[in-house]
Copies of this chain bind each other. A is one copy, B any other.
Amino acid sequence: MTLNIIDIAKLAGVSKSTVSRYLNNGYVGAESREKIKKVIDETGFMPQSYAKSLRTGKTNLIGVIVPKISTETAPRVVQGITEVLSENNYDVLIANTNLSVEKEFEYLNIFKNNQVDGVIFMGTKITPKHKKIMDKLNVPIVVVAQYMDNYPCVYHDDFNAAKYMTEYLIGKGHKNIGFIGVYEEDRSVGLERENGYIAALKENNIEMDIENLKVGDFSYESGYKLANELINKKNTPTAIFAVTDNLAIAAIDCLKDKGLNIPKDVAVVSIGDTRISEVVSPKLTTIHYHYKTSGRKSAEIMLELLKSSIKTSKTIKKNIKLSYILIERNSA
């Protein structure tokens, strides 16, 4: 019922190889070309991609594993990925793991040997088991939004962004700076940003008050609670650096609830530049990351790997560290 290449060949009065050639390389005589074109235009024929894949071993599909699609950052990365991939005739297979590490393993395994020509992995953390599975994959992998040894990756410069932001605060005269972070298992947001904060203090010869360093999770509640601890300690900080906009919003709410003025009494800054950061009052001074660009870059690396017909990207140490922009608004 649905046409195949043989039907087209018959209708055009040529052999199926000629039609195939027309569809691909295009080593076809003028009149055959004409006849085939006509038939294809009339019928709207499109070759079945899986039959083609079976023969060629390529699927023209790139698997993209995302931790959770319904966030603000993941879609931006995916946006970048789809933009460059679709320009290059690749389609994107989305695997939404919903923050389940098990699902990450599962999808990596599904993509193994199979189904896709390459995998772009956007995870929250990378464990030894991740590495083990990835090492067995025989399609190229690119890691995005996360640093990883031995694999090509594109990520954001969390350490320096946090350091820079802390120095910005120091430059404004703050010496007593509270920090609201998250657990260190999250390398980018947890570990790197905390290290950046610590490094800035150290380099500026500011002794760190250990009470100023608070760590929780990503929730609004955590941000509020930690901000509260910060202002109730003996030396209330004059500035608070929260590692995400969401945590900063929570801190702002907490400060407001206590009757504190921002930024006069306490300055608040963060990293993210999400939509809410420009709507909250006062508008948040924050750091912008180039998420869409990271998506684009990771796709570009993938295309390169694909072109060089590399079967695995293990030990390819190409990695791109993207920079950041400080967005100065009214909260500091």
Contacts and interface: CB of A to CB of B under 8 A. Distances in A.
A44 B109 contact: yes
Nearest to A91: B93
A73 B96 CA distance: 16
A191 interface: no
Interface string A67-83: 01111101110110011
A8 to B, nearest CB: 12
Interface in A63-111: 68-72, 74-76, 78-79, 82-83, 86, 91-96, 98, 103, 109-110
A115 B50 CA distance: 7
Q: How many copies of this chain are found per oligomer?
A: 2
A195 interface: no
A210 interface: no
Contact of A114 (B48, B69, B112, B275): B48
A59 B3 CA distance: 18
Contacts of A113: 2-3, 46, 48
Interface of A: prevailing SS: mixed
Using C-beta atoms within 8 Å of the partner chain, give the interface range for chain A.
Answer: 35 or more
B96 A82 contact: yes
Contacts of A109: 44, 46
Contacts of A206: none
Contacts of A94: 78, 82, 92-94
A95 B68 CA distance: 17
A19 to B, nearest CB: 16
A292 interface: yes
B69 A79 contact: yes
Interface of A: 2-3, 44, 46, 48-51, 53-54, 59, 61, 68-72, 74-76, 78-79, 82-83, 86, 91-96, 98, 103, 109-110, 112-115, 136, 138, 249, 274-276, 279-281, 292
9 contacts: A46-B112, A46-B113, A48-B113, A54-B54, A83-B96, A91-B95, A274-B275, A275-B276, A281-B281
